[in-house]
Every structure is written in C-alpha cells, then in structure tokens.
Structure 1
Amino acid sequence: MQILIGVISAALIIGVLELFKFQKLYSGALILTAIAFIYVGFAGANYWALGVESVQAIAFLLISYYAITKKPLLIVWGLGLHAIWDLAHLLIDFQIELPPHYELICIVVDIILAIYFYLKLKK
C-alpha cells in the first residue's frame, strides 16, 4: 500500500508540473529543497536530530543551487541521495517522529521523480 501511495503522490506532482508547464529545472530544485527541509520539521525539540536534519537540508539546498547554476542533472543525483537519506531513516533511529511508513513512501517518490527529472533535464 505504501508503494502505491508513493506512486500516486509522484504522479500528482508530475501531473501538476506538466499541467501548468512549470520550468523543470527550477521545479526540481524547489522540490528537492522542500523534501529535505520536511525532515527538519519532524525533528521537533530533539536538538541532536534538529542539527543533523538541518545539515542534510542545507546540503540538499546547495545541491539544488548548483543544479540551477552549473549542472542541472544534480537534481537527479540529489533525489537519488535523498532516497538514500530516507532509507537511512528506516535503518537508523534518528529519534524523530515520522508518520507511519513515511520513509518508504518518500523513497518511492524520490526514485520516480529522479527518473522524471532525468528524462526532462538530460541533454
């Protein structure tokens, strides 16, 4: 069921991007940055987790920036790395409160979006 939710979520995101003909590079950068900062919100008052999640969010923000300014395919790499970050949350207790099955749903979304942006941004 979680995989299906991930597929539907990714399809909705892609549908909106296509329907409104959003510019793919900027949209990918915004999406990558947003999904990284979501984990900061889940850290709550756990200062250790807040620090770790803030560092990863800033790292993905920098990846997005360099994708816009230098290498657009960094969006694809960033989404792949974010899927690995999601997997790390499945394997390691970061002591944050995530919704049930959040990590698996996000992994599916990240992978599908990485494929989508690869197809849209490759030259």
Structure 2
Amino acid sequence: MRPIRVLTNLGVPDVEEAKGFYTGFLGLSTEEFSLGWVARFTSPDTGASVQLVTRDATAPEDSAMSVQTDDVDAAYAEAQQLGYEIVHPLTTEAWGVRFFVRAPDGTVVNIAGHAG
C-alpha cells in the first residue's frame, strides 16, 4: 500500500465546540472536510492538520487514524491476504471509498481513497 496522507482521528464530544481551539489557538484555520460528526482542519501555512471525530456515523467502530491511499481496492485485498481483521468492509461513501482494519496492536485504522 502507498499512503498519501496519515491523519490522527482525535475524539471530541462536539466538533463545533472544539473547532475554536484548533482553528483559533492552533491556527489550523482551513476546514478541508466536514460532515458534522467529522471535520479536518489544516494550517494554510504548513499543511499540519488534525481530524476531529465525535463518533463515526457510518461505521460500527471508531478509528484512531485515517490513511489515505491511491488504491484502496488493492489495500483492501492486501489486508485480507495478510489475514488482518477487517472491522468495516470496503464501503463507498459520498466522499470516497474506505474500510477499517485492525492492526495487530488492536488499533483500528481507516483506510480511504477519496473521490476526485
């Protein structure tokens, strides 16, 4: 798998409530992505970013991190071939395709390929 971007999924009780700290104080002022339950904020100067998540609205379990890849289908096949636990199957969302895989240490990782 070729990762393009790796993001921490930071669990927060309320994205809108948390937004002020991350955009104002930390300077992650560009909102790249927002669905209400998940939003990504990025520094326009450095590209540093964080993804805030209340609870995943379309998967049975929350993920600790998101990895964007250029070939999510190949990543899914590789995860299956290697015998990793698939927590959430390959699913088409409005913004792209993703699946969740459990790392051997128990961490749930969202593997995504974004549309466009």
Length-normalised TM-score, structure 2: 0.22
Normalised by the length of structure 1, the TM-score is 0.21
